[in-house]
Structure 1
Amino acid sequence: MPTHKIKLKLFTSSAELQQLINIENKIPKIIENYIILENERLENLKETRFPTEDDLNGAIQGLLRLQDTYKLKTKDLANGILLNNINIKKQMNVKDCYEIGMNAFNEKDYYHSLLWIQEAYERNLYEESPEIDGPNESEILNILSISLYKQGNLKRALEINNKLIKIDPYYPNAINNSKLYEQELKK
């Protein structure tokens, strides 16, 4: 190979090498800037306040007040239908209805608990792909029977509790609840 071609290749290679060195020198600054930006994003996330359990409970209580104030049907609300047939096109699933019912139950609001747990039960019968972490039929029937009992509907509470025992004979307190309901009915 002629000398001038070797010098030309050497010159080209050293120019390319210099470019690579310049780029390599910029990498620490690029990484530093990236780390600064990511730290800023992390700080923003730390300052972001996600809804808490109290926020959810407050929202549910607000929904129940609206339901009473405007005499909204549970099924309509669960189907996403609001006042004057306004449809928000977002239906609640079994888990949503159950959560609302459980919130009312925990607040000793057995009237609303009964409405929403009944809706959860009806949806559970027809929902094609229930939530993995949602309630099972036994849990729904248990709360439904207790809510009926607390509302004074002993006969229906006993019927629902007996249905629970048929599908899950070892459900905690189901047998004791049946005995209690039967004793109360005899009075």
Structure 2
Amino acid sequence: MFERVKKAIALRLGRISTEQLNIEACIRQGMKVGRNCHGLGAATIDYAHCWLIEIGDNVTFAPQVYLLAHDASTKRHLDYTKIAKIVIEDGAFIGARALIMPGVTVGKNAIVAAGSIVTKSVPEGMVVAGNQARVLSTTEAYIQKHQEKMGHSDLYDENWTIGRRISPDMCRQMSDQLINGSVGYVK
């Protein structure tokens, strides 16, 4: 209680930005952020799944980066939303308005150019750029693929969501289960 009052006073005095408070809320919810991270306050963080986001040391974010750890394209058809971790390793640079999608790891000292939509992991020390939107499959084939994946993936009911007040232990458990690009599904 005292900490909340102290932060409210500091905010009124202009010592803590609302961006810092948002980052602090994500960290309290389980997001991991290393030392010497720059620009995260100007990023949009997927608060609903922020415990699936891990950011290393000496990472720089340009303005309006979007970190998205969920993909609700499966929700209407399967009643589950696809979720996966985002890992930004030490020394990475993420350019302005880049979108990092679920299941992506940006390797150490990698650079993601401004405006990039990153759907696949970026190897250590590499530079990536662009958006190559192209037809991948039919909606039917996409839903069928995920329905099959659900048979051997971690499934989480509504209790594993912010709306149902997911516990810190559950956040850690989900994060520990969704490693190395593995995908889960949440109601």
Q: Per the shorter chain, which TM-score range?
A: under 0.3
Larger RCO, structure (CA 8 Å, separation 6 or more): 2
Larger-Rg structure: 1
Q: Whose helix fraction is larger, Structure 1's or Structure 2's?
A: 1
With normalisation by structure 1, the TM-score equals 0.23
More strand by share: 2
TM-score (norm 2): 0.23
